[in-house]
Structure 1
Amino acid sequence: MKMGFGGRVKAAAKILMTGSLEDYRAAFIRGDDLDGWTVDAETAMKYSAVNACIRVLSETFASVPIILYQKTKDGRDPSTDLAAYDVLHNRPNEEMAPFNFNETMMTNFCSSGNIVCERLYNRAGELVGLYPYSHRVTNIGRNRDTKKLEYKIGAGPDSKTLNRSQVLHVPNLSFDGVIGMSPLTYAAETIRLGLSYEKYGVKFYNNAAMPSGVFEHPGALGDEAYKRLKKDLTENYIGLQNTGTPMILEENMKWQQVTISPVDAQLLESKYFQIEDICRIFRVPQHLVNKLDRSTNNNIEHQSLEFVMYTMLPIYKRFEDNINMQLLSREDRNKGYYFEYKLDGLLRGDALSRAQAYAQARQWGWMSVNDILRLENKPGIGPSGDIYLQPSNMVEAGSDQSAAQNNARLIDDIQRMISERR
């Protein structure tokens, strides 16, 4: 007869509370303990690797400001004209600062695959706030009659239902492009395994009661001999100050060191390697969660750049597109307004790398001194700092003006020589 869900939970709990380490290890290998766990966001966050990955993503996302731009004939200019800019950049709502708001959005985005924020408007119809709802109280579905998305917030008499025009909804990777998938749901087995390793480690160290070694005696120690041995060990061999002191054993007594069994060592080591799977799911470099066994000073910088390019950039693009589509009117978009996250801070590099990049930009004439100082958050040097340089030896691509000029000079010299002879 197959054990039901409740029975598996009780069996696992009984083993954890009253069973021995060997019983727990056997249940772990059989999978009894794994089947009894339900992985939700709260459970997953208790796993250190999941917690670290979501924190890295959330704090990195919240560290980048969002800027409103307007397209111009010469490119684009930063703007503060729209009310949505003040909400997203300065004051999302009465209770949250921009960093906390963005961090909360990203945490729910990573946990449930969706972020739902209610739009708050004033009487003039201007956006004055965004309030994010936890995935625990949000249910996304389609109305059977209208076939349009609805967002049910809460449960019971205090619940409310919002339509698409009343929320900002950003979905994660999705099969239908509308409702995002939760990475925690699709990685449940991996997370269960990681949690099992952690619980096994706790059980091993707390309840195994493994001493560092044992004394072997050919006979039986009397009470007085036992007390004298215990006192001698306590006074002369235990403690940091007695480390390395040679031990004197009497009556053919032998010391036998106890080591960890190969099975226990392999399971505990597997807990460490399980972190790689979690990092793979969230696309977070392992060095960002303090797993440094494969990182060096030479490759960490490249891994950090790859994290920005291949992990954070798609996330920012996803949020930009949804914000521009849902919070800007067609009239605003026709006027050239659009939001964009400013990623310069994530790509700055060290002082030497920035100096080399600035030097090339200055030399080739596409940045001025004031442009460089503004990127470094420093004041300009006045009108002279807006001058752009151009190398004197630059010519139009595909042309050979230098050769033509040499030929022209050569012709002039020949003509002059001919004239002088006449």
Structure 2
Amino acid sequence: MFWKRHDTKSGAQALIALSGLGDAQWETGTPRRLFEAGFRQNPISYRCIRMIAETAASVPVRLVSEHDATDGKTLIRLLTNPSAGETGHSLLEAIYGDLQVSGNAFLELVRRGDDALVGLQRIPVGAIDVLKGRAGYAIRTANGRRIIRPDARGWSALFHLRTLDPGSERLSMSPLQAAGRAVEIHNAGASWAKALMDNAARPSGALIYGRDGNHLTPDQFDRLKSQLEDAHSGARNAGRPLLLEGGLDWKPMGLTPTDMDFIAARRESAREIALAFGVPPMLLGIPGDNTYANYREANLAFWRLTVLPLVQRTVRGLEDWLGGAVRGEVRLKADLDAVPALGPEREALWSRLSAADFLSEDEKREIAGFAPREVRHAD
């Protein structure tokens, strides 16, 4: 039987132990850790969040409905100066940023004792507790908690805007959460590169001793280890010669194909982060991405596929929510005519409408997004 054979060859033999890969350790399981890793420590996701929030907030929101003069002035003031020291632009930017980081955003209408609307303020997502069922929300403050419940109509003074999440009825997931693993891989690549630079900007090596069966004594081992750490570790010691004695030999270790794949994986994770946020990698300067023919084409895709859907959904949500706080219907409009990036498309539309003789003037205005002209009756 083959397992009963005995090998009589003499000589030293080496025993090599191979171990498989362990399970990956993901550290962005909590919202706090995800925020630290994705917003504060990762340049790709940080830039994506800022680009989306700042670009979307640059689209002005106009009031276009007719209602009571007092309510109209109040809504215009809330949209332009929602609270002391804050503009409507900065408030929208914060809301869009909350949606990218946490998937949720909260706004609260502030009223005086006589029930008049005096302000509009953002509530940080971390200060919100969702009550069981549909009983409302609790806002944590320095003095305890404030409970906000919907009225008999179902309207609430706290507006909850959320991203798409079919698996949740209340709080939603965010693009940053979808990109969480790619963020960790990208951050791990940065840590690897920093560690490589800290170790003289080159891979580690091995000190070989005891070719004839000799071994270092514990004191010799501790002394050698201390000398290596003090005199030959770190970027400031790069290139310093290593003095060897007593049969020691240094064997440097070069970058393996696995190390090179690790660098490529970091670039791929950067593209995955951009994909989760809907930002074309070309706009972020990520190398190796030629999805679009030029920068202008990529920028237009960013506006059409990411920014405008976010703005329109937010405007429709604000329109419905503010309509429950005032008398009459509230109609808001995202002023796309103020967006320079959409200028070529707008000019092409106007040219086509001008050449469409089969359309009336009011029909052309409606297609272009304008209200019909006032009809004048002949005397």
**TM-score surpassing 0.5?**
yes
Unaligned runs of 5+ in 1: 1-25, 73-78, 212-256, 376-385, 387-422
Deviation of the 1:157 alpha carbon: 3.9
* Aligned: 1:188 with 2:183: no
1:114 to 86, 104, 107: 104
Aligned amino acid, residue 202 of structure 1? K
1:204 counterpart (196, 208, 230): 196
TM (norm. structure 2) is: 0.64
Does the 8 Å contact 1:44/1:50 carry over to 2? yes
Written as runs of structure 1 = structure 2, the 5 A alignment for 1:126-141 is 126-141=116-131
Distance 2:106 2:120 in 1: 10
Match of 1:209, SS?
A: coil
> What corresponds to 1:310 in structure 2?
305
Q: Percent same amino acid at aligned positions?
A: 19
**CA 1:141/1:285 → structure 2, altered by over 3 Å: closer, same or farther?**
farther
Query: Conserved in 2, the CA contact under 8 Å of 1:361 and 1:367?
Result: no
SS at match of 1:67: strand
Once residues 320 and 347 of structure 2 are traced to their aligned partners in structure 1, the CA distance between those partners, rounded to angstroms, is 38
Determine the C-alpha separation between the residues in 2 that align with 1:292 and 1:358: 37
CA 1:80/1:258 → structure 2, altered by over 3 Å: closer, same or farther?
A: farther
Between 1:280-289 and 1:294-303, the stretch displaced more is 294-303
One-letter code aligned to 1:206: D
- The correspondence of residues 145-294 of structure 1 with structure 2, limited to 5 A, is 147-154=134-141, 157-164=143-150, 165-174=156-165, 175-210=167-202, 260-291=255-286, 293-294=288-289
Cα offset for 1:123? 4.3
1:83 corresponds to 2:113: no
| TM, length-normalised to structure 1 | 0.58
Report SS of the residue matched to 2:91.
helix
Q: Please give the per-residue CA displacement for 1:73-117, whole angstroms capped at 9, x wherever unaligned.
A: xxxxxx9924122211x1011131222211111111111111112
Aligned pairs (5 A) from 1:254-403: 260-291=255-286, 293-295=288-290, 298-329=293-324, 332-334=327-329, 337-346=330-339, 348-349=341-342, 357-364=349-356
Q: 1:260 to 1:350 in 2, by over 3 A?
A: farther
Residue of structure 2 aligned with 1:57, choices 52, 70, 75: 52
The corresponding residue for 2:90 is 100
Instruction: State the one-letter code of the partner of 1:198.
Output: A
SS in 2 for 1:58: helix
Q: Mark the structure with the bigger radius of gyration.
A: 1
The residue identity in structure 2 corresponding to 1:345 is A
In structure 2, the partner of 1:67 is 62
Q: Once superposed, what is the RMSD of the aligned Cα atoms? A: 4.0
Q: What count of residue pairs does the alignment treat as equivalent?
A: 291
1:33 positional shift? 5.5
- Deviation per CA, 1:294-333: give whole Å up to 9, x if none: 3487343333333222222321232122212211138745
Q: Classify the secondary structure of the residue corresponding to 1:70.
A: coil
Distance 1:204 1:322, change over 3 A: same
Instruction: Tell me if structure 1 keeps the 8 A contact 2:283–2:295.
Output: no
For the residues of structure 2 that align with 1:259 and 1:278, how far apart are their CA atoms?
Answer: 30
Q: Contact conserved, 1:91 with 1:97, CA < 8 A, in 2? A: yes
Range that drifts further, 197-206 or 173-182? 173-182
Higher mean alpha-carbon deviation, 359-368 vs 284-293, is at 359-368
Answer whether contact 2:28 2:180 (CA < 8 A) is retained: no
Distance 1:354 1:176, change over 3 A: closer
- CA-CA distance at 1:43 after TM superposition: 2.3
Deviations 1:315-356 (A, max 9, x none): 12321222122111387454xx311212233464467x7655
What is the letter of the counterpart of residue 331 of structure 2? Y
* Structure with higher helix content: 1
Q: Answer yes or no: is the 8 Å Cα contact 2:163–2:173 preserved in 1.
A: yes
**Shift in Å, 1:290:** 2.1
Considering Cα pairs closer than 8 Å and 6+ residues apart, tell me whether 1 or 2 has the greater RCO.
2
Counterpart-to-counterpart distance in 2, 1:349 and 1:300: 14
SS, match of residue 115 in structure 2: coil
Out of 125, 136, 157, which is 2:115 matched to? 125
Instruction: Answer yes or no: is the 8 Å Cα contact 1:80–1:86 preserved in 2.
Output: no
Give the corresponding residue for 1:411. none
Q: CA deviation at 1:52?
A: 1.0
What is residue 40 of structure 1 aligned with on the other side?
34
Alpha-carbon distance in 2 for matches of 1:367, 1:207: 74
Name the residue aligned to 1:215: none
**Relative to structure 1, is the Cα distance of residues 114 and 301 closer, same or farther in structure 2, using a 3 angstrom cutoff?**
same
Q: Aligned-pair distance for 1:271? A: 0.7
Residue 193 of structure 1 aligns with an amino acid whose one-letter code is: I
Q: Secondary structure in 2 aligned to 1:340?
A: strand
